[in-house]
Structure 1
Amino acid sequence: MKLLIADDNPVWRNLISAAVENWGYRIESASDGNEAYGYLRSEDPPRLALLDWLMPGMEGVEICRRIKQDPEHPFTYIILLTSRDRDEDMIQGLDAGADDYLTKPIVAPLLKSRLAAARRIIEAVPPMKWTKPQIEGFEIDHLIGRGAFATVWKGTHRSSGKPTAIKIIRADLATDLVFERFAREIQVMRKMDHPGIASIYASHLERDLAYYAMELVEGESLANYIASEAPRATRIIEMMAKVCDALQHAHDHGVIHRDVKPSNIMVGKDGQPKLVDFGLSKSMFRTKLPTSNSSTHDGAVLGTPLYMSPEQARGDAESVDHRSDLYAVATMLYLFLLREHPHGALSMSREETIHAIATTSPRPATEVNPKFNPQLEAILSRCLADNPDDRPQTAGQLATELREFLNERAASRSQAPRPQSLDD
């Protein structure tokens, strides 16, 4: 079996290669992330990869995330290598789709057993697609997404004829933590009943079969919609107000999303945004019971770095509440309207982004564009405040402020002698 070993340290790369060759693997080696990504994107890619977490060009965790998020890519078993032995790093790697995680220095017998286990899994998985499942009450069509522990299939609900997205967990591979998170995601989705949140139709949760079927939003992510349609600034603001409506519904039901980002907002063919993926959600209701082993990870840095609030970036679980979601909304608006990140993080690594958000103040919008509307800048500045108490206190309040801004702008345009833009 072909094995990719990617590590910028030639000593580690050569040591691992020398050991692995004796175990019957065909080696491809890479000294930086871009070279490793090229191997995995080739016509005959390795199906087993050892990726160093930190590499020049592209980090191993980012390579993993890209490979796992590509539904057309053949199943690749990825083991991340790192010298840091922290629970939050392991969780971050697993959230990126890694199948396994090893810390340096690596003991040869342990590596050999891990590779053998990986090989058994790879040989059980068809090269190009995971086996089509059989779910009672649903007609399964084709695969539309795949991660380390779950697949997402397009299907049809037989009794209603509604198109569905069916997320199925690979319970045989999932850890207890992953299984608990999946169960929580189902519980959260069942609470929701709002036009701005994708609905759940059915679910089943047992160790031999765990899935949920939800409304299939036939459209594209907000990121793709903005890129392809190039909507006017007022349209973007209007859509963000609707996202706030959906968040208010979630918050009213005691749920903080914690991973609000453009790829977790789908835009249907009707042009309306819908919030999806509550996999990292957290209850707003605090328990006084002793903390369980699984819940101790709430302090870990979870979510997508670009849209994190400062309290999330600092891993301050006690301060993460519904106002962290509002910080994410404001960050999206800032990016869409100014094409810059409030903390200048577009060209930073994940670690640098987290550090910047945790320790620096956001750049005022008028510093990026001196003509930016001051009223809108004031709204964004409040949402991006380091202290959650200085932000709007509810998603509904933010939605109201955005709509008031649009209404006042429309009124001023109707009275103005010439057309105005958001830059006026």
Structure 2
Amino acid sequence: MPSDAPPSPSSTEVNALADRLAQDMRRRWNAGDRVATEDFVAAHPALRDHPGAIGELIYEEVSLRREHGEPGGSSEVLRRFPQWATQLRVMLELRDALEADGPPAFPEPGERLGEFRLLAELGRGSRGRVYLARQPALADRPVVVKVSSRADAEHLSLARLQHTHIVPLYAAQDDPARGLRVLCMPYFGGTTLAHVLAKLAPIPPADRTVAGVWAAILAEPPSAIPVTAPPMPSRWSAMDYTGLIAHFGACLADALQFAHDRGLIHMDVKPSNILLTADGQPMLLDFHLARPLVRGGEPAPARLGGTAAYGAPEQRAALVAVRSGQRISVAVDCRADAHALGVVLYEALAGRFPSPGVPAFRYNPRVSVGLSDIVARCLAPDPAARYPDAAALADDLRRHLAALPLRGVRNRSLA
């Protein structure tokens, strides 16, 4: 191992960390754990050098205190962080003004929404809410209900995608009175890869185990659906942690290739959009940003999205072009999804976001040179230097797992 210390995390990495921690804070509050901003800062000292990231957590805590009717609300948090008081008051006043204009009328757990009885909130974002629910008309089966604006067209993407590693769509319904679209999907468990990586964060990547991943998956089921803990999948017993992550990557690359073959780019591959089911299968979630490829030289599309920490350079450039009304300079195609999956793999293997030119094995000596090179090719800044499609990426990941010569990168271990 090199003796020099790893470089400090970049602003992009810390902002992405703050986003994940804000989601974790919301999940824990909804589960009854009133965790505070200071708890996250103590566990992640890198946040101290990035006031904006701390501000995001403070704002999330203020919002949660309001939503849960905690005594003191925003005033209590503002007292603990006087240096942020002015900025936070402005942010909260702006949010109040926006909500006064009529936000979507999202339901609360315990309500009925059409034919569904909502049990618990599984997650939320700027565009919608996700609930665990029961469907009394069909043997009271547990389902996942995603509620968003009727302008959202995710159902049109999901309707075309029936694949083992893509969460399917059961039905789509509209609630005109509330201006909402309701998507019903099967309930496969409530754990995402983001949840698992958050649980594993205190463990050095080289010390992580397959059993630890399984324990993290079992730790997340919502209490509204009693479950009996299943045994760890037998196929996992032959893998170590790095092999399991490579296996997940191959399955997800298969799913991406399936979507790409049908003309859809996911555009937002990240750990929180990867479900890990109760039987250990990785599945892609959240196709609300999915779209056909964006061609270079064309006018900027009206709608384009993504998450900066996982987005390929050409996707980030396209987002800038959309905001400025300029033409797209470089195509955004299937290779952008491969880049995002590469970031996910690097993060899971190395315990941190990619550092330019630093292979994953630098941070985790259990990662082989071959696996590092596969991930590095996904992360190439030039799309032409990446895998030509997700199928080629899946093939190399499986060849790595089978100890076969790799096709997409040089076999340095054999040289």
The correspondence for 2:51, drawn from 54, 57, 76, is 57
Within 5 Å, which residues of 2 pair with 1:238-317? 238-284=247-293, 295-298=301-304, 302-315=305-318, 317=328
Which AA in structure 1 matches 2:114?
A: E
Aligned ranges for residues 13-412 of structure 1 at < 5 Å? Answer: 57-59=51-53, 62-63=56-57, 66=60, 73-74=67-68, 115=96, 118=99, 130=108, 132-160=110-138, 161-169=140-148, 171=149, 179-180=150-151, 182-183=152-153, 185-205=154-174, 207=176, 208-226=179-197, 227=199, 229-230=212-213, 232-284=241-293, 295-298=301-304, 302-315=305-318, 317=328, 318-343=330-355, 361-368=356-363, 372-408=367-403
- SS of 1:281's equivalent in the other structure is coil
What is the rounded CA distance, in whole Å, between the counterparts of 1:287 and 1:205 in structure 2?
A: 36
**Is the 1:71–1:145 Cα contact (8 Å) retained in structure 2?**
no
1:149, CA displacement in angstroms?
Answer: 4.5
Q: CA deviation at 1:61?
A: 7.7
- Deviation (angstroms), 1:220: 0.8
Using the TM superposition, give the Cα deviation of residue 214 of structure 1 relative to its aligned residue in structure 2, in angstroms.
1.3
Amino acid at match of 2:316: A
Q: Deviations over 1:213-256 (max 9, x none)?
A: 11222141113234352461111111111111111111111111
Change (3 A) 1:255 1:329: same
- In structure 2, the CA distance between the partners of 1:304 and 1:71, relative to structure 1 (3 Å rule), is farther
* Cα-Cα RMSD: 4.4
The residue aligned with 1:93 is none
Corresponding residue number in structure 2 for 1:350: none
Task: Name the SS of the counterpart of 1:204 in structure 2.
Answer: strand
Flag the 1:397–1:120 CA change in 2: closer, same or farther, 3 A: closer
TM-score (norm 1): 0.58
Higher relative contact order, structure no. (Cα contacts within 8 Å, ≥ 6 residues apart):
2
Within 1, Cα distance between the matches of 2:108 and 2:334? 37
3-state SS of 2:309 partner: helix
Q: Work out the number of aligned pairs and report it.
A: 299
Q: Counterpart in 2 of 1:88?
A: none
Q: CA deviation at 1:387?
A: 1.2
Kindly state the Cα deviation for residue 117 of structure 1 after the two structures are TM-superposed. Answer: 6.4
Question: Which residue does 1:91 correspond to in 2?
Answer: none
Specify the SS of the correspondent of 1:194: coil
More strand by share: 1
Kept in 2: contact 1:70–1:146 (CA 8 A): no
Distance in structure 1 (CA, Å) of the matches to 2:366 and 2:387:
24
Cα deviation, residue 62, structure 1: 3.2
Partners in 1 of 2:169 and 2:59 — Cα distance?
26
Flag the 1:158–1:376 CA change in 2: closer, same or farther, 3 A.
Answer: same
In terms of Rg, which structure is larger? 1
Provide the identity percentage: 28
Secondary structure of the structure 1 residue equivalent to 2:163: coil
Q: Within 2, Cα distance between the matches of 1:340 and 1:117?
A: 35
CA displacement at 1:286 relative to structure 2:
6.1
Amino acid in structure 2 at the alignment position of 1:275: L
Greater mean deviation of Cα atoms: 303-312 or 130-139: 130-139
Counterpart-to-counterpart distance in 2, 1:187 and 1:71: 36
Asked whether the equivalents of residues 309 and 324 of structure 1 are also in contact (C-alpha less than 8 Å), the reply is yes
Q: 2:133 & 2:267 partners in 1: Cα distance? A: 28
Report the alpha carbon displacement of residue 198 of structure 1 after superposing the two structures with TM: 0.7
Does the Cα contact within 8 Å between 2:109 and 2:119 map onto a contact in 1? Answer: no
Q: What are the Cα deviations for residues 76-108 of structure 1, in whole angstroms up to 9, with x where unaligned? A: 999xxxxxxxxxxxxxxxxxxxxx989xxxxxx
Q: 1:74 to 1:271 in 2, by over 3 A?
A: same
**Separation in structure 2 between the aligned mates of residue 209 and residue 297 of structure 1, nearest angstrom:** 19
Letter in 1 for 2:119: D
- What is the CA deviation profile of residues 15-69 of structure 1, one whole-angstrom value per residue up to 9, with x for unaligned ones? xxxxxxxxxxxxxxxxxx9xxx9xx9998x9xxxxxxxxx962348834885699
Where do 5+ consecutive residues of structure 2 fail to align? 1-17, 37-48, 75-89, 201-211, 214-239, 322-327, 406-412
Q: 1:115, 1:72 → 2: CA distance?
A: 11
- What is the distance in 2 between the residues matched to 1:118 and 1:258? 28
Q: Is the 8 A contact 1:220 1:268 kept in 2?
A: yes
* CA distance 1:287–1:166, change in 2 (3 Å): farther
Letter of the aligned partner of 1:313 in structure 2? Answer: R
User: Which whole-Å deviations, capped at 9, do the CAs of 1:369-413 have from their partners, x for residues lacking one?
Assistant: 677522222212221111111111111111110000110179xxx
Can you give the 5+ residue segments of structure 1 that lack an aligned partner in the other structure?
1-32, 46-54, 79-99, 103-110, 172-178, 344-360, 411-421
* Contact 2:296–2:331 (CA under 8 A) maintained in structure 1: no
Q: Residue 306 of structure 1: CA displacement?
A: 2.4
Does structure 2 retain, via aligned residues, the 8 Å contact 1:261–1:307? yes
Deviation (angstroms), 1:135: 3.3
TM-score (norm 2): 0.59
- Taking a change above 3 Å as real, the CA distance of residues 187 and 286 of structure 1, as seen in their structure-2 partners, is farther
3-state SS of 1:210 partner:
strand
